[in-house]
Structure 1
Amino acid sequence: MNTTRSYRQRGLECTEYVIDVPLDHDRPGGEQLQVYAREVVDTTQPDASVLPRLVFLQGGPGGKGPRPVDRSGWLARALKDYRVVLLDQRGTGLSTPANRQTLPRRGTPADQAAYLSHFRADAIVRDAEVLRRELQGDEPWSALGQSYGGFCALTYLSYAPEGLREVFVTGGLPPLSATPDEIYQMTYTRAVEKNLAYFDRHPDDRDLCVRVVDHLRDHDVRLPTGERLSPRRFQGVGMRLGMRSDFDALHYLLEEAFVDGLSGPELSDTFLVGVGSAPFSSGPLYAVLHEACYCQGVASAWSAERVYTQRPEFALDPGTPFLFTGEMIYPYLFEEVPALVPLREVADLLAAKDDWPPLYDPDRLAANDVPVFAAVYYDDLYVAREFSLATAAAVGRLRPWITNEYEHDGLRTGNVLDHLLTLARQTP
């Protein structure tokens, strides 16, 4: 392990680490990757250097660790009790990158798909274990998993529980055995509920959305990055409905949708910038590996797209009441988004892969002895409560906190971590 540098900023002491890990942990002598992590300590805390460590497992997939600029939000609360390790999961941030620029160096699309098959939660957990042993030997550490990071935490409990002292999960208790189709059927149902809540609050926006779709159907509208804004791409903006911080922001975006141009109404630059801000360029693995996160021994076969065709309420046909979709990745994105277009064949191959290994061990989870404290958001658009509650009942020593006070971004916008830490300190 290399310590690249240490520095201080606004009450934080940051130390950066880079470790070498195998691409395939079952072949430790084979190709190596680099994984980056940043340890953060609160310089105002007495004896902060002797506090236990907490590793933060980022949402995603394909999300890099947060870049802290000061003591604020959930990090400020965590730093009262821990040294916090912010991990750049393999393929992201300052870890060895995986994107449209680097992947062609692997060779054919088949070679690239084989490479990316080693970028799921099972590999991320084994990377974390290499880092933990480098930092503190056999001593276990705590883990905080946000969203997809919670999926990783359950994989961690399945295959390396000896590395964990306690686990906190926010909006990320995954389905342990459901198929992608079962998951997306539930996710579309939750999306319908979110649409009803949104249009109940902003009833005039439904007709405005129909007007936007009609305009996009009749005009070649380009985003600031150059790609076409299609009706389906606009429909996907509904992903924001699962975040408290974005729910009403979507309304404010829509209210500036049109301006009067030389040839009549056109979509405003303000609107186009807002619609085009999806993180596919900075986090392409989010799209490429999204459905693979749910696959254990089955192919996704573009599950979200297939289920979409079975849900006529989401059709963009004239006369059909408009509905946004939610957190789904579709094949059309790999035809329209510049950061994804070169990865279309790779994505197709991954969607067809039917020999994904298991991500969870139900027997080991049932016998789990590591304390787990999990926030389950009752109205979560991204991780359906029905699956999360079933998982909570199936995992030993897991205490769920079920709340409708927060949305999927509760860790960032509320006192969710403080609540879970309080539960942990009150639990024998």
Structure 2
Amino acid sequence: MPGVTLTDHLFSVPLDHDRPDGEHIEIYAREVVAIGRERERLPWLLFLQGGPGMRSPRPVGRDSWLDRALDDYRVLLLDQRGTGRSSPVTRQTLPARGEPAAQADYLSHFRADSIVRDAELIRRELAGEPWSVLGQSFGGMCTVTYLSFAPEGLREAMITGGLPGLRVTADEVYRATYPRVHRKNTAYYRRYPQDAALVRRIAAHLIERPEPLPDGSLLTVEAFQSLGMMLGTSDGADVLHYLLEDTWAGAELSDSFLARAAAFLSYAQLPLNPLMHELTYAQRGTGATNWAAQRVRGEFPQFDARTALAGDDPVLFTGEMTYPCHFDQPCLAPLRGPAEVLFAREDWPDLYDPQRLAANDVPVAAAVYLDDMYVDATYSLQTAETIGGLRLWATNEYEHDGLRVSSGRVLDHLLRLLHGQI
């Protein structure tokens, strides 16, 4: 590709790292190096993608943050287990594991602790020495897990929008999330006040008559509210506004709107996400997550569209939450059974080791986005104080996708923090 050489790598790793002689799965990673530097002994930079359940970026050259990274590193873009080309989890593959309980047992090995152990096997095979890691969002949470349980594999670590609360439950996460999403709604309607009446009209229509989407699922009012997921990105409010521009064809919702809404709402390309998202907060002693986002939503009646329509309040969009209605999508319907089992499970292992993090001696730099809709900045700042030697950059200059949209500036800032230049 222009400016880069790409190399595919495939690795066989244990499904359960505590049973190395048991079943193995395949992990895919793509090596990226600048043209002309293929034979240089460059340090490795492992990129851990956000999610959970998203495949690694597919580069089209020296684009986005990758352009800055390739000045200093040989980059490895990892498809975390279950995503992309790494033994993917889908409605086609998971039922082959057997009954829902067996499927849930299989999925229990797809959290951050297993991803880190995959990375360590790959590092020893590919690099042979400690490497650098860059974790975005969920990838940042994986990086904190890495620092907790395998810091000997790390030369340095950078985290963007992904410092987790170390002992925070799923319920606590969502109790902090709904008010932040409310603030993003307020900012959206302030920017596009004409959309308030439009959204109320759409919501009223969908309460009376949910509309079929191209994938066969129904656009209910709750599903429509899930479009607020995009409000946490740098251009999300504008994208949502333009999505709503041609909503109506007379008294009917237009085919154009329904098709574009379906593309935003579908989990067909990341079916692992709704299965694993709230399990990101499940650890020893926290109990079952038990559809935490849905339960906690009841504590915030302002997100009930019917209540809003009964008065003069705006209909609020929701955010990055997993709801039972998402499993009405054809791509997720066969996975509802294992989801129920997973969300009822109580005996989860820890993902972080606070004592080990306090004694950390790996150089760490982290960007905390103060207006982040997806990751609570208060919990992130608390965690930043507990990780030994962490250098913090707290900013409201960017939204959660700052790494992607900043043309390398966020990564450059973190590198300069690590190297003592700022």
Q: Is 1:49–1:83's contact at 8 Å kept on the other side of the alignment?
A: no
Please give the alpha-carbon distance, in whole angstroms, between the structure 1 residues aligned to 2:256 and 2:417.
Answer: 44
Does residue 1:275 correspond to 2:268, yes or no? no
**Which ranges of structure 1 fall in alignment gaps of 5 or more residues?**
1-8
Please give the alpha-carbon distance, in whole angstroms, between the structure 2 residues aligned to 1:396 and 1:377.
Answer: 20
Does residue 1:182 correspond to 2:172, yes or no? yes
Q: Is 1:175–1:391's contact at 8 Å kept on the other side of the alignment?
A: yes
TM-score normalised to the size of structure 1?
0.94
Residue type at the aligned position of 2:147:
L
Specify which of 355, 360, 376 is matched with residue 363 of structure 1: 355
Please give the alpha-carbon distance, in whole angstroms, between the structure 1 residues aligned to 2:229 and 2:88.
Answer: 25
Which residue of 1 is the match for residue 417 of structure 2? 423
Does residue 1:192 correspond to 2:185, yes or no? no
SS in 2 for 1:49: coil
| RMSD (Å) for aligned C-alpha atoms | 1.2
Specify which of 67, 83, 88 is matched with residue 92 of structure 1: 83
Please give the alpha-carbon distance, in whole angstroms, between the structure 2 residues aligned to 1:126 and 1:359.
Answer: 12
Which residue of 2 is the match for residue 331 of structure 1? 324
Residue type at the aligned position of 2:338:
V
Does residue 1:292 correspond to 2:279, yes or no? yes
For residues 17-55 of structure 1, give each alpha carbon's deviation from its aligned partner in whole angstroms, at most 9, with x where no partner exists.
Answer: 11111010011111101101110001145x763110000
Specify which of 309, 327, 346 is matched with residue 354 of structure 1: 346
Please give the alpha-carbon distance, in whole angstroms, between the structure 2 residues aligned to 1:41 and 1:191.
Answer: 39
Q: Is 2:148–2:353's contact at 8 Å kept on the other side of the alignment?
A: yes
Please give the alpha-carbon distance, in whole angstroms, between the structure 2 residues aligned to 1:239 and 1:97.
Answer: 24
Please give the alpha-carbon distance, in whole angstroms, between the structure 2 residues aligned to 1:259 and 1:410.
Answer: 37
Does residue 1:56 correspond to 2:47, yes or no? yes
State the Cα distance separating 1:91 from its structure 2 match.
0.7
State the Cα distance separating 1:220 from its structure 2 match.
3.7
Which residue of 1 is the match for residue 131 of structure 2? 141
Which residue of 2 is the match for residue 5 of structure 1? none
SS in 2 for 1:124: helix
Specify which of 276, 288, 306 is matched with residue 295 of structure 2: 306
Please give the alpha-carbon distance, in whole angstroms, between the structure 1 residues aligned to 2:323 and 2:412.
Answer: 37
Which residue of 2 is the match for residue 343 of structure 1? 335
For residues 380-401 of structure 1, give each alpha carbon's deviation from its aligned partner in whole angstroms, at most 9, with x where no partner exists.
Answer: 0000101100110111111111
Question: Which is further off, 312-321 or 104-113?
Answer: 312-321
State the Cα distance separating 1:216 from its structure 2 match.
1.0
State the Cα distance separating 1:279 from its structure 2 match.
4.9
Please give the alpha-carbon distance, in whole angstroms, between the structure 1 residues aligned to 2:62 and 2:48.
Answer: 19
Question: Which is further off, 83-92 or 218-227?
Answer: 218-227
**1:67-82 matches, cutoff 5 A:** 67-82=58-73
Residue type at the aligned position of 1:303:
A
Which residue of 1 is the match for residue 401 of structure 2? 409
Specify which of 23, 39, 46 is matched with residue 15 of structure 2: 23
State the Cα distance separating 1:206 from its structure 2 match.
1.4
State the Cα distance separating 1:218 from its structure 2 match.
2.0
**Which ranges of structure 2 fall in alignment gaps of 5 or more residues?**
none
SS in 2 for 1:426: coil
Q: Is 1:245–1:413's contact at 8 Å kept on the other side of the alignment?
A: no
Residue type at the aligned position of 2:198:
L
State the Cα distance separating 1:426 from its structure 2 match.
2.0
Higher relative contact order (CA 8 A, sep 6+): 2
State the Cα distance separating 1:219 from its structure 2 match.
2.2
Specify which of 137, 161, 178 is matched with residue 171 of structure 1: 161
Cα separation, partners in 2 of 1:173 and 1:236, compared to 1, 3 Å: same
State the Cα distance separating 1:69 from its structure 2 match.
1.2
Q: Is 2:216–2:329's contact at 8 Å kept on the other side of the alignment?
A: no
SS in 2 for 1:332: helix
Please give the alpha-carbon distance, in whole angstroms, between the structure 1 residues aligned to 2:138 and 2:228.
Answer: 19
Please give the alpha-carbon distance, in whole angstroms, between the structure 2 residues aligned to 1:117 and 1:375.
Answer: 29
Please give the alpha-carbon distance, in whole angstroms, between the structure 2 residues aligned to 1:291 and 1:49.
Answer: 42
Which residue of 2 is the match for residue 156 of structure 1? 146
State the Cα distance separating 1:176 from its structure 2 match.
0.4
Residue type at the aligned position of 1:421:
L
Please give the alpha-carbon distance, in whole angstroms, between the structure 2 residues aligned to 1:226 and 1:108.
Answer: 25
Which residue of 2 is the match for residue 216 of structure 1? 206
Q: Is 2:28–2:86's contact at 8 Å kept on the other side of the alignment?
A: yes
Q: Is 1:216–1:229's contact at 8 Å kept on the other side of the alignment?
A: yes
Please give the alpha-carbon distance, in whole angstroms, between the structure 1 residues aligned to 2:36 and 2:28.
Answer: 25
State the Cα distance separating 1:207 from its structure 2 match.
1.4
